[in-house]
């Protein structure tokens, strides 16, 4: 019989780690691996182990913090403290030790699962357990005691492959993960417990016997196969009058008996504690090294290098610093004969307040296709508004290992596009009110004289004024030839103030600007009126930017924007106000897509950011078109549609694709188990608050009930003749049964495929299966078709969307809505596509109604027009176009590191 020298093996591992830490610190002087040991309450047995861990950490070069909290700490307080440690970049590993008597008031599983997967050095979170169960032994963290036992078995010289192994005990810390480790090392494994029938007989067949059952000297010599390897994980205290303390420590194995039979055995009292500590230290060093790897990989390559890699000429790229650039529209002309790549839109099920990870999936899929599957690929996403970034939502660059970088530049200012939109929008608003003021305070002759002044004795119409004359049917070019009636018609727009729809904008959430009074200065001579501010991304100019196809097209669209009607009911446009040329000048740079990159160095176009409720909620046509040319016929452009598929995807097909002429090859529909449970009747969730337990535990019934929403969105995609691939964005709380159930239901509902994704945790690697599914889905020719013909009456187009996409029985138009519809028909706007303005949280008009209801009536309160953008937008319920700040906005956490000048807290 040979004893395994646990102390020697553990010391050898610690010495190796000490050497590795010295090497890391020499290469990265600012680095010191950090371990946080969180303890709630005060138990002496816990303190002994903690002292062992702290001492081992100090010897190796790890900065170990023993963080004590009183036993009275609440669950929510402890959760917040762990979240703070997750955000602490000096901490690479976190372990939590709870006293047994806190388990009634603290959910230990929830506490452990709150630890970031990148800091779970104990290897005990659901993510770590799930990885182990799938045989993913690399890239994550293995639980310390079982991993230590495996190291002992390997060093003992015992043959693992083909061996019969028995694990006695099924705890989450030792028994269950030990069995999984042995299985993936090619052993035939049986897991037993104290109630297993014929336990001695089962144990006697084991070549390898691992015991962690917590019962003193439970396993007898007669239970053990001669020559077996026995690993005793137990430490138990039993009475012993010969000891000063009156107690003696023994293992779960009767050492005196078993040592006579086994060929290899851990020494009495079965304490593999030194190996547990060694593996904990090893995981912490791995985490620190991984943190360096991530930080290094997050350093973007120079954008000029990326531009060259994707085939852009130097003359086609204007650099904005080293990490972002504007791309010239001339690329489209140069590559006009290049065949387009495959066009894929990412949409989602009806979202919940927590979000389902649509942006993250878009980026993760692009990374999978590019860095993993070696395809030419572009991701096309919207630029986020600074309002929500500083308000309640935070950044929108994706998340985890699937995001756009540099994320601070992505979320803040970028290349100034939103500022250009703000300036252009407000210039038009200023001209609108100024024109009404001047018309109200001047005679026809005075007004005409100022509009067409004599310069050096000569009057001339500007090109924009010539356009207005043509619109009025006046075929004269000499200002002195106009009659009095023609002068009046030319000079007076005669705007009806009650019909004004154009508002001022600001890219800040400011609830007190939702209704204001302007013109209160004495200089405005009593010309006051009530109006409001919208957020900048709600401006029609943003929608124009997203839907335009060229500089010429943008100039025309800006001119067509209707700001009000005159007193005879005719539309008044930006062209009538003479400002459309100036708007184009302000937007001349904004029209060019912004080039950035993902964490894995694949290209991203971030361009335009229209709201997905009152506008169409998609990034720009120009970005998609340029991307499709650059990737070539074998490449892929992944573009994201805002909110649920009933909103963003429907508008993508019926509005964006109409104006672009592009035909999509597939839909990727993002869903989560968590959201399906909510649609199935699960309790309400609030961002930032702990999740109700139903979302953390397996519940197939809720998942099946909530699948109706996902099924409806799958069918919505199929209506357009496009194959649908479901991306199940997996969380650590999802169970295998839940995921498999959803996959099965998706294919039954008509989805081309359904794939479980882990791109948030693993980047492109976690979306490889999704990438392959998309490749397969786009191999066949698309049968894409629109939902309705543009020539149908406005009411009928609205009714088709409500019935086919939402599941409504019919539509109810208010008197105001019908009046507007009649006006738009008279003004010649009937044949525009429809852009429904509706809550994104439900298929109905009520955000509280989840699932996929049918037979309801959809109320249309109003119908408005974005003529420049090219759509009518019916309003279902109340739509706020200016968000407000919450009690605790995101900016509480945002600051600038004055030493590194890096933005912190922007997530």
Q: Which H or E run includes 167?
A: strand 164-168
Q: Which H or E run includes 518?
A: strand 516-518
Domain positions in the chain: 3-292, 324-415+598-778, 418-586, 794-875
Q: What is the pLDDT of residue 157?
A: 85
Least confident span in 28-42, 360-374, 375-389, 737-751:
28-42
Q: What is the pLDDT of residue 889?
A: 67
Kindly give the pairing relationship between strand 325-327 and strand 594-598.
antiparallel
Confidence bin at 209 (pLDDT 50/70/90): very high
Q: What value does the mean pLDDT take over residues 217-241?
A: 90
Report the distance separating Cα 177 and Cα 129, nearest Å.
Answer: 7
What is the token pair recorded at 779? 């191999």
Is the previous residue joined to 645 through a cis bond, with omega within 30 degrees of 0? no
Confidence bin at 689 (pLDDT 50/70/90): low
What is the token pair recorded at 879? 């739509």
How far is CA 207 from each of CA 1, 142, 155, 308, 351, rounded to the nearest angstrom?
A: 14, 23, 16, 60, 52
Which residues are tagged catalytic? 53
Task: Kindly report the length of the chain.
Answer: 907
CB atoms within 10 A of CB 220: 14
Q: What is the pLDDT of residue 855?
A: 93
pLDDT tens digits, residue range 259-312? 899 988 887 665 688 889 999 999 999 888 776 565 445 667 899 999 999 999
How far is CA 731 from each of CA 117, 671, 755, rounded to the nearest angstrom?
A: 11, 11, 13
Q: What is the pLDDT of residue 187?
A: 95
- Give, to the nearest 10 degrees, the angle between helix 144-156 and helix 175-184: 50
pLDDT tens digits, residue range 783-795? 999 999 999 999 9
Question: What is residue 522's three-state secondary structure?
Answer: helix
If one looks up domain 418-586 in CATH, what number appears?
Answer: 3.30.1510.10
**With pLDDT > 70 as the criterion, what percentage of the chain qualifies?**
93
Q: What value does the mean pLDDT take over residues 129-141?
A: 86
Angle at 656 between CA 421 and CA 645, to 5 degrees: 105
Overall pTM surpassing 0.85 (yes/no): no
Question: What is residue 696's three-state secondary structure?
Answer: coil
CB-based contacts of 559: which residues, under 8 Å, 6+ apart?
A: 467, 573, 574, 575, 580, 868
Report the distance separating Cα 141 and Cα 481, nearest Å.
Answer: 85
pLDDT tens digits, residue range 889-903? 666 667 777 776 676
Report the distance separating Cα 163 and Cα 206, nearest Å.
Answer: 8
If one looks up domain 3-292 in CATH, what number appears?
Answer: 3.40.50.720
Q: What are phi and psi of 178, to 5 degrees?
A: -60, -45
324-415+598-778 and 418-586 share one fold: no
Cβ(794)–Cβ(830) below 8 Å: yes
User: Of residues 449 and 28, which shows the higher confidence score?
Assistant: 449
Report the distance separating Cα 188 and Cα 841, nearest Å.
Answer: 49
Kindly give the pairing relationship between strand 188-192 and strand 164-168.
parallel
- Topology of domain 794-875 in CATH is Formyltetrahydrofolate synthetase; domain 3 (3.10.410)
What is the token pair recorded at 649? 């995807």
Report the distance separating Cα 650 and Cα 638, nearest Å.
Answer: 16
Cβ(403)–Cβ(601) below 8 Å: no
- Whether the per-residue pLDDT at 884 is higher than 90: the answer is no
User: Considering only CA atoms, which of 624, 550, 546 is closest in space to residue 871?
Assistant: 546
Confidence bin at 815 (pLDDT 50/70/90): very high
Least confident span in 64-73, 99-108, 199-208, 656-665:
99-108
Residue recorded with tokens 């690479």: 92
What is the token pair recorded at 250? 């023994």
Q: What is the pLDDT of residue 409?
A: 79
564 CB burial (10 A radius; 0-12, 13-18, 19+) = buried
Report the distance separating Cα 277 and Cα 280, nearest Å.
Answer: 5
Q: What is the pLDDT of residue 41?
A: 77
Confidence bin at 859 (pLDDT 50/70/90): very high
Q: What value does the mean pLDDT take over residues 143-151?
A: 92
User: Considering only CA atoms, which of 648, 31, 775 is closest in space to residue 342?
Assistant: 775
Report the distance separating Cα 452 and Cα 491, nearest Å.
Answer: 9
User: Considering only CA atoms, which of 44, 48, 40, 100 is closest in space to residue 71?
Assistant: 40
Q: CATH second-level architecture of 324-415+598-778?
A: 3-Layer(aba) Sandwich (3.40)
Q: What is the pLDDT of residue 288?
A: 83
Q: What value does the mean pLDDT take over residues 564-574?
A: 94
pLDDT mean across residues, the chain: 89
Kindly give the pairing relationship between strand 810-813 and strand 188-192.
unpaired
pLDDT tens digits, residue range 473-511? 999 999 999 999 999 999 999 999 999 999 999 988 888
Confidence bin at 389 (pLDDT 50/70/90): low
Query: How many H-runs (helices) and E-runs (strands) does the chain carry?
Result: 32, 37
């Amino acid at each position: 019989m040979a004893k395994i020298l646990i102390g020697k093996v553990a010391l050898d591992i610690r010495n190796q780690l000490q050497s590795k830490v010295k090497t890391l610190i020499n290469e990265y002087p600012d680095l010191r691996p950090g371990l946080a040991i969180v303890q709630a309450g005060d138990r002496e047995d816990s303190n002994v182990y903690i002292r062992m861990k702290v001492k081992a950490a100090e010897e190796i070069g790890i900065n170990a913090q023993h963080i004590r909290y009183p036993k009275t700490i609440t669950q929510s307080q402890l959760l917040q403290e762990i979240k703070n440690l997750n955000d602490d970049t000096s901490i690479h590993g976190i372990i939590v030790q709870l006293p047994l008597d806190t388990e009634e008031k603290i959910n230990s599983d929830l506490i452990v699962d709150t630890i970031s997967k990148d800091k779970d050095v104990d290897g005990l979170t659901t993510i770590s357990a799930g990885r182990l169960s799938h045989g993913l032994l690399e890239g994550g963290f293995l639980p310390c005691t079982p991993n230590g036992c495996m190291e002992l078995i390997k060093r003992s010289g015992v043959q693992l492959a083909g061996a019969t192994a028995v694990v006695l005990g099924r705890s989450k810390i030792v028994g269950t993960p030990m069995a999984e480790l042995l299985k993936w090392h090619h052993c035939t494994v049986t897991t037993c417990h104290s109630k297993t029938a014929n336990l001695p007989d089962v144990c006697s067949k084991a070549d390898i016997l691992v015991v962690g059952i917590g019962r003193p000297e439970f396993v007898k010599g007669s239970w053990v196969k001669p020559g077996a390897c026995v690993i005793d994980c137990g430490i138990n205290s039993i009475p012993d009058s010969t000891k000063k303390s009156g107690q003696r420590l023994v293992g779960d194995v009767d050492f005196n008996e078993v040592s006579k039979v086994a060929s290899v055995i851990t020494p009495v009292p079965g304490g593999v504690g030194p190996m547990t500590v060694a593996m904990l230290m090893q995981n912490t060093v791995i985490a620190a090294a991984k943190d360096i790897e991530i930080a290094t990989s997050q350093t973007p390559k120079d954008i000029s290098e990326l531009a060259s890699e994707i085939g852009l000429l130097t003359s086609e790229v204007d650099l904005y610093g080293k990490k972002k650039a504007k791309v010239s529209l001339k690329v489209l002309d140069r590559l006009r004969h290049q065949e387009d790549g495959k066009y894929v839109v990412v949409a989602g099920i009806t979202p919940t307040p927590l979000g389902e990870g649509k942006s993250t999936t878009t980026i993760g899929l692009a990374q999978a296709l590019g860095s993993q599957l070696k395809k030419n690929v572009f991701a096309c996403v919207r630029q986020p508004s600074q309002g929500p970034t500083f308000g309640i939502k935070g950044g929108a660059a994706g998340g985890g290992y699937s995001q756009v970088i540099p994320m601070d530049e992505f979320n803040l200012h970028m290349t100034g596009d939103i500022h250009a939109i703000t300036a252009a929008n407000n210039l038009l608003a200023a001209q609108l009110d100024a024109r009404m003021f001047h018309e109200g305070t001047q005679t026809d002759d005075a007004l005409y004289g100022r509009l067409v002044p004599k310069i050096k004795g000569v009057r001339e119409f500007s090109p924009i004024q010539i356009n207005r004359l043509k619109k009025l049917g006046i075929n004269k070019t000499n200002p002195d030839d106009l009659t009095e009636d023609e002068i009046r018609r030319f000079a007076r727009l005669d705007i009806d103030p009650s019909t004004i729809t154009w508002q001022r904008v600001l890219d800040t959430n400011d609830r007190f600007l939702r209704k204001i009074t302007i013109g209160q200065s004495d200089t405005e001579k009593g010309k006051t009126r009530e109006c409001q501010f919208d957020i900048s991304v709600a401006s029609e100019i943003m929608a124009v930017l997203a839907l335009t196809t060229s500089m010429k097209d943008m100039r025309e669209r800006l001119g067509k924007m209707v700001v009000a009607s005159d007193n005879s009911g005719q539309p008044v446009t930006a062209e009538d106000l003479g400002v459309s040329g100036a708007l184009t000048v302000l937007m001349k740079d904004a029209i060019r897509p912004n080039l950035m990159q993902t964490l894995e160095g694949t290209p991203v176009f971030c361009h335009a950011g229209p709201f997905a409720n009152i506008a169409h909620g998609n990034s720009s046509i120009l970005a998609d078109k340029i991307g499709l040319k650059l990737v070539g016929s074998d490449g892929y452009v992944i573009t994201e549609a805002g909110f649920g598929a009933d909103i963003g995807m429907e508008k993508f097909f019926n509005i964006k694709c109409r104006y672009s002429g592009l035909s999509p090859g597939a839909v990727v529909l993002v869903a989560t188990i968590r959201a399906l449970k909510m649609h199935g009747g699960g309790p309400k969730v609030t961002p930032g608050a702990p999740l109700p337990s139903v979302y953390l535990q397996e519940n197939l019934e809720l998942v099946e009930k909530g699948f109706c929403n996902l099924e409806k969105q799958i069918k919505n995609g199929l209506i357009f003749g496009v194959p649908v691939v479901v991306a199940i964005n997996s969380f650590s709380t999802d169970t295998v049964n839940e995921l498999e159930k959803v996959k099965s239901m998706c294919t039954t509902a008509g989805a081309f495929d359904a794939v479980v994704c882990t791109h948030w945790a693993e980047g492109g690697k976690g979306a490889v299966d999704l990438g392959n599914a998309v490749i397969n889905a786009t191999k066949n020719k698309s049968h894409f078709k629109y939902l309705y013909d543009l020539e149908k009456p406005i009411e009928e187009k609205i009714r088709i969307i409500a019935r086919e996409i939402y599941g409504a029985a019919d539509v109810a138009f208010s008197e105001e809505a019908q009046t507007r519809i009649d006006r738009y028909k008279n003004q010649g706007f009937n044949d525009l596509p429809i852009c429904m303005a509706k809550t994104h949280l439900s298929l109905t008009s009520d955000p509280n109604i989840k699932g996929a209801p049918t037979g309801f009536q959809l109320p249309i309160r109003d119908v408005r027009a974005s003529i420049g953008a090219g759509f009518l937008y019916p309003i279902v319920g109340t739509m706020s176009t200016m968000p407000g700040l919450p009690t605790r906005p995101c900016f509480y956490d945002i600051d600038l590191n004055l030493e590194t000048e890096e933005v912190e807290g922007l997530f």
